[in-house]
């Protein structure tokens, strides 16, 4: 059982590293609004931006969401639909209302 937990934690850590690398690499391409480490100036430490819905509305979510199974499910759907190698930021493929409901339950 301990091996499964360790394996799951490693998978979550790898996913987080991919997400943060992808988010921080946007600063290199987009220019302004980023600090010297290419992190967005308007995103507090311990958070990351995601884009949700048809209009790609931007939400800032805490890194702690990455441990919740429901949010992990959204990330898997995002990876399946968009992958992590595209210029659109981390896009969550669901309606904004669903995303808002889910994040309010997680908080």
Give the mean pLDDT per block of 10 residues along the chain (107 residues).
Answer: 52 63 49 67 87 92 93 91 76 93 90
- Residue 37's alpha-carbon distances to 30, 31, 47, in angstroms, are 13, 12, 15
What pLDDT does 55 receive?
Answer: 92
**Is the separation of the CB atoms in 71 and 65 below 8 Å?**
yes
What pLDDT does 30 receive?
Answer: 47
| Strand, helix or coil for residue 91 | strand
Please choose, from the candidates 53, 37, 58, 61, the residue with its C-alpha nearest in 3D space to the C-alpha of residue 95: 53
Would you state the structure tokens that stand for residue 76, as one six-digit string? 């898997």
Q: Exposure pattern of 65-97 as b/e (b: 16+ CB <10 Å)?
A: bbeeeebbebbeebeeeeeeeeeebbebbbeee
What pLDDT does 29 receive?
Answer: 46
What pLDDT does 76 receive?
Answer: 92
**Is the separation of the CB atoms in 52 and 96 below 8 Å?**
yes
Name the pTM for this structure.
0.65
């Amino acid at each position: 059982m301990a091996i499964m937990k360790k394996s799951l934690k490693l998978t979550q850590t790898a996913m987080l590293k991919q997400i943060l690398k992808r988010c921080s690499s946007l600063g290199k391409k987009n220019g302004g609004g980023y600090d010297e480490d290419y992190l967005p100036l308007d995103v507090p430490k311990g958070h990351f931006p995601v884009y949700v819905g048809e209009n790609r509305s931007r939400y800032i979510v805490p890194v702690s969401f990455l441990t919740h199974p429901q949010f992990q499910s959204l990330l898997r759907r995002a990876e399946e639909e968009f992958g992590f190698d595209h210029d659109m930021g981390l896009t969550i493929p669901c309606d904004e209302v669903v995303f808002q409901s889910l994040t309010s339950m997680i908080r």
